[in-house]
Amino acid sequence: MSKEIEDHRLFNHSGNTPFADVLAKRVSRRDVMRGGLGVAAASMLSMGTASQALASASDKKPLTLAFEAIQGAHKDAVVVPEGYTAQVLVPWGTPLKANAQWNPADPMTAAQQAESVGMHHDGMAGFALDDSSASQRFVLALNNEYIDQNALWQPQGGPTNAKEGKRPAEESRTEINAHGVTLVEVRKDADGQWSHVADSSYNRRFTSAIEMDLAGPVAGSDYVKTRFSPEGTQTRGTNNNCGNGVTPWGTYIACEENWPNIFVNTGERFIDDARIGIPTERSRYAWETSAGDASEANEEFARFDITPRGASATDDYRNEARTFGYQVEIDPYTQQNAVKRTALGRFRHEGCWIGKLEAGQPVVFYSGHDARNEYVYKFVSEANWNPADANRPGEQYDRLAIGAKYMDNGVLYAARFDADGNGEWLPLTPDATTRDGRRLSAALGLADNDMAGIIINTCDAADLMGATPMDRPEWATVDPASGEVYLTLTNNSQRSEEGVDATYTNDGSDITQPGVGFKTAPTNAANPRPDNGAGHIIRWRDAPNSTAFNWEVFVFGAAAADANNLSGLTEQNQFASPDGLWFDERDGGEGILWIQTDNGYEGITEYTNDQLLAVVPSALRNAQGGDSTVKQSNQHHMKRFAVGPNGCEVTGIFATPDKTALFINIQHPGNWPADAASLAQDATREASGQVRPRASTVVIQKKMVARSGFNHV
């Protein structure tokens, strides 16, 4: 989630024990300070079997990072190590049709934006068009998370009536079209440069206005019947797509994160409206104020005002927001409608990551709810994985039917993290037993078999089951060899000085006893910084055929100069606010863990812009095996690889199958790329003056690609 649209309100008033308290009990100050995480982590998580197996698998040379860590930077440019290049690709506004033209000095129109790359790139993935050229030509699926109104409306000096009054319909329509997902074919030219393929049949936009289907428990239920879809089977648009997912059958998952703020409800509210954070006065962009304009078609703006007005739900849009908050499955190879898979829960999804895939076993999906004191979720499919369902690039078949097989039926869980390093996945099903001994459906006031109601009220259900509130769970990634899951806990801006009593919140009023959700919490051994902006990354491993798991802290973010630099970070790798994650598997089961940041922590912002770091988890183990966490003794295995331009967030990441090109996204830059009008340029070049900033994908490659190419990174 970008800091630009972070919602600082606290919606979890459950009183469940927050992760900060769990972590404080799990890690003692004495053990942490006695040697980084080494002493504490050695007893934290029983990963001995996997660790020892990897350590003694063979005498092969372990995977190492073959680049020198770069220094931090404050430049209007991307910075990469010596010997690498960085190229701008498909910046915001890139036309998807060959005959379309747009000069970035000119205004953007709604019609142009509907057929151009959207704004503020985030999660992304590449989909091969055939096996032979998978690393030179593919469909790039790209989330466009949100908009920068000042950049979008720069030629006219900014948006009209942004804070009050009616928004012009053309501006609202353009902003709606700038959100969503972009599909664009890209290819590598003979000279090693990348470009998009205008007029490709794969080029497509999914905006906040495009019709989409609903599937799973909520589809067809009374919860999602609207004036637009009285049957409750369709909706329009997807919004604020942040993290992403890729299925083994070849579809893309776009995850709806900060979508609640695009709606407004000024009247009677559903319980889930308040829990999920629907505004009560004016939406983030006030699209609803354009309703009634002479150009409005099919109530395209009225639907964002979910205030009940009619005699029933099919007379108004009171249920419109209930058609958002899901995992959105897209087939990048066909023109089929996108499908919202409701069985995976309804909340502010940060991403969707597939667990270790095994034939004959269920398919597992992980997701975090990116907000302070929210939860981590897991969905386990009812169907077992059949390798015959794996993607076949170049063939046309119904991939979304395969998606329905694995994503429409199964069990959704929320995570409870225990102080002893164990954990439990808590089922969110009507017959589950809550902490106080009630049936979950009854505790939510639902009928005994109302699974749709459980999904609509996912957050309340997790509250009642006793899930652990976390410090903004964002991206995750899975080691495909071991099945270990890594998750970023980006930060918690509500942490007070040691010795200061915790405060709690109940409808905005502070009280002095626990039970209604933390507003602030004091520092502790594992979170020693007041106003903790540094964050950390945890790791867990699920027990086979069980709801149990084990967990540990992989690395704490910090500035090297911090008094409590718990992981011993140095100038070569100091970071804060970890956000994006991706596990880059290499031959032999080892891999590189890539870490991206969305930083606002003073000790790091003074040193560097947001960045990309790399670490080889298997290399962190000593000769005798043992734990593989980041600590003082193994800093050389974690290095800074790239730094983004001033003002940006570094996000979205994947590499070509041959590992010769690494793709990342630069979101909300302040004054970059250097040439605002060019679609392909050197990303490391600084602008000579002020330019209209454009979020862009960046391709990083070696200057001279050796036979093994990017494998030596």
Given a cut of 90, is residue 342 above it in pLDDT? yes
Given a cut of 80, is residue 612 above it in pLDDT? yes
The strands making up 503-506's β-sheet, listed across from edge to edge, are: 495-496, 518-522, 503-506, 509-511
- Measured over the CA atoms of residue 67, residue 491, residue 144 and residue 159, the dihedral's sign is negative
pLDDT of residue 71: 98
Given a cut of 70, is residue 337 above it in pLDDT? yes
- CA distances for 96 relative to 80, 117, 199, 531, 666, angstroms: 29, 7, 6, 44, 20
Given a cut of 90, is residue 288 above it in pLDDT? yes
Give the pLDDT band (50/70/90) at residue 40.
very low
Q: What is the mean predicted confidence (pLDDT) over 92-106?
A: 93
- pLDDT, tens only, 157-199: 999 999 999 999 999 999 999 999 999 999 999 999 999 999 9
pLDDT of residue 188: 97
Residue with tokens 């099903």: 429
For residue 367, report the phi and psi dihedrals to the nearest 5 degrees: -155, 145
Given a cut of 90, is residue 564 above it in pLDDT? no
Given a cut of 60, is residue 59 above it in pLDDT? no
Least Cα distance to 388 among 249, 250, 253, 252 occurs for 249
Say what percent of the chain tops pLDDT 70. 86
- CA distances for 705 relative to 85, 594, 658, 664, angstroms: 11, 21, 11, 19
pLDDT of residue 471: 87
- Token representation of residue 456: 């609509």
Half-sphere exposure of 516 (CA within 13 A, CB side): 11
Cα dihedral angle (381, 539, 426, 46), rounded to 10 degrees? 110
pLDDT of residue 335: 97
Say what percent of the chain tops pLDDT 90. 75
Least Cα distance to 648 among 592, 709, 599 occurs for 599
pLDDT of residue 426: 98
pLDDT of residue 229: 98
pLDDT of residue 101: 86
- List all residues 6 or more positions away from 65 whose beta carbon is below 8 Å from its beta carbon: 592, 614, 615, 616, 637, 639, 713
- pLDDT, tens only, 199-210: 999 999 999 999
Least Cα distance to 243 among 405, 400, 368, 355 occurs for 368
- pLDDT, tens only, 241-250: 999 999 999 9
- Measured over the CA atoms of residue 267, residue 207, residue 581 and residue 285, the dihedral's sign is negative
Residue with tokens 């903004």: 472
Q: How many CB atoms lie within 10 A of CB 692?
A: 17
- Distance, C-alpha 559 to centroid of its chain: 24
Give the pLDDT band (50/70/90) at residue 42.
very low
Residue with tokens 């109104």: 149
Give the pLDDT band (50/70/90) at residue 704.
low
For residue 629, report the phi and psi dihedrals to the nearest 5 degrees: -100, 165
Q: Phi/psi class of residue 345: alpha, beta or left (left: φ > 0; alpha: ψ in -120 to 50)? A: left
CA angle 514, 519, 524 (to 5 degrees): 80
pLDDT of residue 490: 87
The strands making up 578-585's β-sheet, listed across from edge to edge, are: 578-585, 591-597, 611-615, 638-643
pLDDT of residue 708: 42
- 313, 226 contact by CB (below 8 A): yes
- List all residues 6 or more positions away from 101 whose beta carbon is below 8 Å from its beta carbon: 95
Given a cut of 50, is residue 48 above it in pLDDT? no
Cα–Cα distance between 71 and 608 in angstroms, integer?
8
Q: What is the mean predicted confidence (pLDDT) over 643-672?
A: 97
- Measured over the CA atoms of residue 183, residue 188, residue 193 and residue 195, the dihedral's sign is negative
pLDDT of residue 34: 36
Cα–Cα distance between 625 and 52 in angstroms, integer?
5
Given a cut of 60, is residue 239 above it in pLDDT? yes
pLDDT of residue 586: 84
CA angle 577, 24, 346 (to 5 degrees): 55
**Minimum mean pLDDT range among 23-32, 78-87, 532-541, 686-695:** 23-32
**Minimum mean pLDDT range among 19-23, 102-106, 510-514:** 510-514
Least Cα distance to 249 among 140, 182, 329 occurs for 329
Given a cut of 70, is residue 226 above it in pLDDT? yes
Cα–Cα distance between 320 and 335 in angstroms, integer?
24
Given a cut of 80, is residue 400 above it in pLDDT? yes
How far does the chain reach from its first CA to its final CA, in angstroms? 28
pLDDT of residue 112: 97
- Distance, C-alpha 186 to centroid of its chain: 23
Q: What is the mean predicted confidence (pLDDT) over 150-157?
A: 96
| 329 exposure class (CB count in 10 Å sphere: 0-12, 13-18, 19+) | buried
Q: How many helices (H) and strands (E) does the chain have?
A: 13, 34
Least Cα distance to 699 among 151, 200, 295, 126 occurs for 126
- pLDDT, tens only, 572-585: 999 999 999 999 98
Q: Considering the chain, what is the average pLDDT of its residues? A: 88
- Token representation of residue 138: 């593919």
Give the pLDDT band (50/70/90) at residue 655.
very high
Cα–Cα distance between 259 and 239 in angstroms, integer?
6
Give the pLDDT band (50/70/90) at residue 628.
confident
Beta strand pairing status for 611-615 and 638-643? antiparallel
Give the pLDDT band (50/70/90) at residue 64.
confident
Beta strand pairing status for 591-597 and 578-585? antiparallel
- Amino acid letter, residue 152: L
pLDDT of residue 682: 97
- 228, 298 contact by CB (below 8 A): yes
- Token representation of residue 533: 């902006």
| 282 exposure class (CB count in 10 Å sphere: 0-12, 13-18, 19+) | middle
**Minimum mean pLDDT range among 219-223, 348-352, 668-672, 677-681:** 677-681
pLDDT of residue 526: 38
**Minimum mean pLDDT range among 7-16, 563-572, 682-691:** 7-16
Q: What is the mean predicted confidence (pLDDT) over 631-647?
A: 95
